[in-house]
Amino acid sequence: MADPCLIRVAHPDDLAAIAAIEHAVFTDPWSLEGLRSALDAPALRVLVAERDGEVAGYLVSQLVLDEVEIQNLAVTPAHRRMGIGRALILRAIGEAAAWGVRRISLEVRQSNEAAQRLYTALGFESVSRRRDYYQRPREDAIVLVRGIAPKRVSSIDKRT
């Protein structure tokens, strides 16, 4: 199967596309300023998936000690079920392993069964629940974790 998209590090020119996806997908979206800050934050990594010359999805992750937490993952409705979310997650897992990280985690809405199936297929396991984590609408989050066998430790290069 051919790659569903090109995964690369986001740059400021991607901000409008990321914000448009954020507002189309989430009921409680990050602000434009929050997204802009994520691009510049040393501990955050923003990846975009590009398909046919347009940003089709993105992933924001945060490195904290020996763990990476996926903060946000979104794919445009028109590009869903094409392997783009999977490709973004696999890139994040690969980078985490290269940095020497031992686990990767995320929260997902209790009602988002499609995302939970994807994460489970990629080796994530449910470890806890966060009551009323999401506010619009109010809903619990399921915390998922996946162990990683580190490959080697290297510095984070936000350009590649």
What are the catalytic residues? 107, 119
Q: Report the distance separating Cα 160 and Cα 103, nearest Å.
A: 22
| Residue of 43, 47, 65 lying closest to 56 (CA atoms) | 47
Q: Alpha carbon of 157 to those of 8, 102, 160: distances in Å?
A: 12, 19, 6
Question: Which residues have C-beta within 8 Å of that of residue 27, sequence separation ≥ 6?
Answer: 136, 137
Place of tokens 């686990």: 103
Round to whole Å and give the CA distance between 136 and 99.
35
* Beta strands in the chain, from DSSP E residues, in sequence order: 6-9, 44-51, 54-64, 67-75, 103-109, 125-135, 138-147
Residue type, 123: G
Nearest to 96 by CA among 48, 56, 64: 64
